[in-house]
Amino acid sequence: MTRILYLFTACLLLLVSGIVHGLWTDRWLPSHAVEDAVARLEKIPLSVGDWKGTLRETPKEAVRGARLSDCRTYQFVNRPKGQAVDVLLMCGLPGPVSVHTPDICYPGAGYQMTTDPEPFTLSGAGTQEVGLITATFRKEEAVTAGELRIFWTWNAAGHWQAPKNPRWTFARAKALYKLYVIHEMAAKDAGRPEQDPAVDFLKIYLPELNRALFPAPVAGQ
């Protein structure tokens, strides 16, 4: 009896792990969900308020190496205030998109993390509060003592959030977006996250981004 119970438990664990892996890798979900999500990237506006954006070329090998379906890189400039932010918007299956966050990737690219990642709640960006994570980084061999503040967040169904375990939170999503907003600043200007110009940008950018990525359904459909 004990041997049968052990075998049953082992088979159950194998079945559960197979189901979770299948959901995480999108094995049993229709592939057009990711294709549709990628297509909506074309509708992202390049002008929001005083911020004017430029689409930059993203190396295809970097996209393939990260197992992403697509990645768009932008720079938005607010000329009246003399401010600029960089935006990375990634899209694909939830498994690859949920991992490889800046606190993992940037140190591997020669950056030193100068503050620990911390949750940040953004209000005033539409009707919902937005959950993000933020940290600062400095290039180890940089001549000038500039720093990057990065905000990052995920979205599968119209709500940007930053869960403690995004891999499990979004395991059943059909497609997933991940957003980085990066502000390069002088070390002397590094303050609290709420003081960063990227916050003002996010407040007006996220509602427009949501309208492009998650359009309201047409009545009767």
Maximal C-alpha separation, the chain: 77
- Give residue 214's pLDDT: 95
The count of C-alpha atoms lying within 13 angstroms of the C-alpha of 109, restricted to the half-sphere facing its C-beta, is 10
Query: Amino acid identity, residue 76?
Result: F
The count of C-alpha atoms lying within 13 angstroms of the C-alpha of 8, restricted to the half-sphere facing its C-beta, is 5
Using 50, 70 and 90 to split pLDDT, how confident is the model at 181?
very high
- Give residue 166's pLDDT: 96
Query: Amino acid identity, residue 35?
Result: E
Using 50, 70 and 90 to split pLDDT, how confident is the model at 9?
very low
Residue 144 reports pLDDT greater than 90: no
- Give residue 125's pLDDT: 67
Domain boundaries, given as residue ranges, for the chain: 1-28, 31-213
Alpha helices in 92-148 (DSSP H): 94-98, 102-108
pTM, full prediction = 0.82
Token pair 């049953």 is at which residue? 8
> What tokens appear for 114 in the block?
């100068």
Question: What contacts 84, CB < 8 A, 6 or more positions away?
Answer: 75, 76, 77, 78, 183, 184
CA dihedral 181, 185, 191, 197 (to 10 degrees): -50
